[in-house]
Amino acid sequence: MTKEQVLLLGLLSKALFKKPAPAADEVDWNKLLMEARAQAVPILAYEALDKEAVPADVLSLWKQYSGAVLINNIRVTRNHAVLNEWMKEAGIPYVSLKGCASAGFYPDPICRSMGDVDFLVYDKDLERAGKILEEHGLLSRGGRHPAHIEYFNKRDIFELHFGVAGIPEGKAGDVVRGYLEDTIAKAENKTIEYGSVKIPSVFHHGLVLLIHTCTHLTEKGIGIRHLCDWAVFVNSFTDEEFRAMYESKLKAAGLWKFAQALTQVSVRYLGADPKPFAEFENSDPITKALIEDIIAGGNFGMKDSDRVEQVPLITERKRIGSNRGNVITQFIASKSELIKLKWPACEKHPILLPLGWIYFSFSSLIGIITGRRKSIKVKRVLDGASVRREIYKKLELYKIK
C-alpha cells in the first residue's frame, strides 16, 4: 500500500472507532483526496483530518467534494422516507436493503456515502409497486437483471427488488434463500430525520450485507466503503453475540470464512475491536491480499477499468465462488450465461446459443472499432483475473464442508 492509502485507512479508523491516525509525513494530499473519493469515503476521511496540516487548496477542494456527497446523502436518505410513505399508502409490504440500514451503524449516519434506494417486495406486489414508482415520475430503465428492476428520474434511482442479488444456485444458495424468506415479514420500523423507513432485522441485514459484498467483490470490486459497512456492523456485536447469531448459519451457507476474513481485515486495517471468532489458520496472507484487492478496485471498480473485463474470467452469477478449471472455461461459461440472460430463448433452446455468441462478439468488435468500447489489454486482464481468482478461492465462498 502507498503512504496515502495507509493514512486513509488510519483516518477511517479514527472516524469510525476513535483510534489515533498515523502520522502524515511526506504525504501527497491531493493523492489522498483522490483515493478517498475513489473509495467513496470522502466525508469520513475529511471529518478525521488534521485540517491545519492539509494545504489550503486541497482542503478547500476536499470540503467541496464532501459537501456534494453530503447533499446526495441527504437526498437519498429522504427518498427512503418518501418511499416508505408511498408503500404505506398503497398497503405494500416492503423492506429497504442496505442504505439506511447500514448508515444506522455509523457514528454519524449522514457520513455514510449513499447510492440509490434498494427495496424488496413480494413477487405478487412487484407490478403494483412498479406502477406506484411510475405514478411519481420514475421511469423503468428496461433491460434484464436477475433480481431487480431499476426506476429513475433526473437525480434519483430506485431499485425495485424481487430477490436479493448474488445468491448462487445449488445447496448453499438454497440455504441462503431459506434464511431470507421472512426478510419482509420481520422488517423493523426505523425512525430517521425525514420520517420512517422499513429496514431488515439485524440478522437479515448482516446476511444481505455479506451477500452483497461477496457478489460485488467477485465482480468489479467493493472498495473501502463496503468494508466500512461491515466493520461498523460487526463491531456492534460482542464475539459471543456474533457467534450465536451467525456461526452455525453461515457455516451451513458456506459464508463463515468470508465473514471471518472481512472481520479480520476490519480489525487489522480499520481499527475495529478484535473478535476471536474471526481468527483462522493462515489468515495473515489472506487478509493482506484481500485489503490490497479492495483498495486496488475502488468503489465498484472505479479505480481499475480492467476489472469489468475480468468478471467473466472469475465468476458467474449462478456459481459465485465456484470457479471453473481455468480462466478459459470460466470465460466460456460466464459469457454463455450472459447471453442466456440477454436472450432468454437460448435458455429454452440451447441450439440458439452459437448465434448469440456470434451476435454479441460481433457487437463488441464493432464497439471497439467505432470507439464506443475500449480495446482490451488481454494479458493484463488475464493476469489480473488469475490473481483475483486465487484470492477468492481461499475465501471458500459458498463452499459447504
192-222 pLDDT, tens digit per residue, is 989 999 999 999 999 999 999 999 898 888 8
Give the H/E segment covering residue 95: strand 94-97
Instruction: Check residue 314 and give its pLDDT.
Output: 73
Bridge partners (DSSP) listed for residue 118: 97, 159
- Determine the Cα–Cα distance for residues 134 and 145; give it in Å rounded to an integer: 19
Q: Please tell me the least confidently modeled range out of 51-60, 119-128, 377-386.
A: 377-386
Tracing cell 493514512 back to the chain, one arrives at 7
Bridge partners (DSSP) listed for residue 190: 197
pTM of the model: 0.88
pLDDT tier at 85 (50, 70, 90 boundaries)?
Answer: very high
Q: Please tell me the least confidently modeled range out of 63-67, 268-272, 277-281, 377-381.
A: 377-381
272-298 pLDDT, tens digit per residue, is 999 999 999 989 999 999 999 999 999
Cα separation values, 154 from 68, 138, 211, 262, 395, Å: 16, 9, 29, 36, 40
Report the amino acid identity of residue 13. Answer: S
- Cell numbers for 363, please give them: 457487437
- Cell numbers for 219, please give them: 465482480
pLDDT tier at 324 (50, 70, 90 boundaries)?
Answer: low
According to DSSP, the β-strands at 139-140 and 148-152 are: antiparallel
CA dihedral for 297, 298, 304, 309, sign (positive or negative)? positive
Angle among Cα 99, 118, 316 to the nearest 5 degrees reads 110
- Determine the Cα–Cα distance for residues 383 and 239; give it in Å rounded to an integer: 38
pLDDT tier at 365 (50, 70, 90 boundaries)?
Answer: low
Instruction: Check residue 125 and give its pLDDT.
Output: 96
Instruction: Check residue 364 and give its pLDDT.
Output: 65
258-276 pLDDT, tens digit per residue, is 999 999 999 999 999 999 9
pLDDT-above-90 percentage for the chain: 65
CA dihedral for 199, 65, 139, 146, sign (positive or negative)? negative
- Domains of the chain by start residue, with CATH: 3-301 (3.30.460.40), 306-394 (no CATH)
Q: What is the mean pLDDT of residues 112-129?
A: 95
Dmax over Cα atoms in the chain, in whole Å?
67
215-250 pLDDT, tens digit per residue, is 989 888 889 999 999 999 999 999 999 999 999 999
The distance from CA 252 to its chain's CA centroid, rounded to whole angstroms, is 22
Q: Please tell me the least confidently modeled range out of 59-73, 121-135, 302-316.
A: 302-316
Tracing cell 436479493 back to the chain, one arrives at 164
Instruction: Check residue 248 and give its pLDDT.
Output: 97
Q: What is the mean pLDDT of residues 135-162?
A: 89
Report residue 396: phi and psi, to 5°. Answer: 55, 45
Beta-sheet strands, E only, within 144-194: 148-152, 157-161, 188-192
137-161: buried (b, 16+ CB within 10 Å) or exposed (e) per residue?
ebeeeeeeeebbbbbbeeebbbbbb
